Amino acid sequence: MIKSFFKEFRDFAVKGNVIDMAVGIIIGAAFGKIVDSLVKDVIMPPIGLLLGNVDFANLFIVLKNAQGAAADIHYLTLADAQQAGAITVNIGLFINTAISFTVVAFCVFLLIKSINKFKQAPVPAPANSKECPFCFTQIPLKAVKCPNCTADLK
């Protein structure tokens, strides 16, 4: 019983679909890193510059200062706030992640759309024959008399 279980698992694991899925996950993870870098390093800096030198990676709101810190303390970076133990809402990181998700979702949409184009059923060739209404055999479209039952066709 245990042997059959492991044989069944091995058969499942080496099927093409599982291997294809694993390759897809690995490629997807690498693509996600590329998109993350594209958003953080290429897209967001010009947007931040246009919005008055906003650094989205350091756009955060302090909900509660670190224990023992002065109430009016201002952290320059998110790393400083986190290192001090402040509780923060990381708006900039969320915006970066949302834009990354949008880019990935758009790319997946384009990929699926192109795959579906190839999956569409082929357009049938125009008919070059018709059925005789009297004997129900296939005859050429231009025929005016059925060669099988000799009926006149209009």
Angstrom distance (rounded) from CA 80 to CA 135: 90
- Mapping DSSP to helix (H, G, I), strand (E, B) and coil, where does residue 128 land? coil
Say if pTM beats, i.e. exceeds, 0.85.
Answer: no
Digit-coded pLDDT (tens) for 19-60: 778 888 898 899 889 998 998 889 888 988 898 888 888 899
Distance CA 84, CA 67 (A): 9
Domain 2-126 has CATH 3.40.190.10: no
CA distance 16 to 127: 39
The pLDDT assigned to 53 comes to 86
The answer for residues whose C-beta is within 8 angstroms of residue 39's C-beta and 6 or more apart is: 96, 99, 100, 103
How many helices (H) and strands (E) the chain has is answered by: 5, 4
* Domain range list for the chain: 2-126, 127-154
CB 60 within 8 A of CB 90: yes
Instruction: Using the predicted structure, report yes or no on whether residue 11 has a pLDDT greater than 80.
Output: no
The predicted model gives 106-132 an average pLDDT of 83
Tokens 């708006």 correspond to 91
Note the pLDDT of residue 16. Answer: 64
What's the whole-number average pLDDT of the chain?
Answer: 86
Mean pLDDT of 124-145: 87
> What kind and span of H or E run contains 116?
helix 91-119
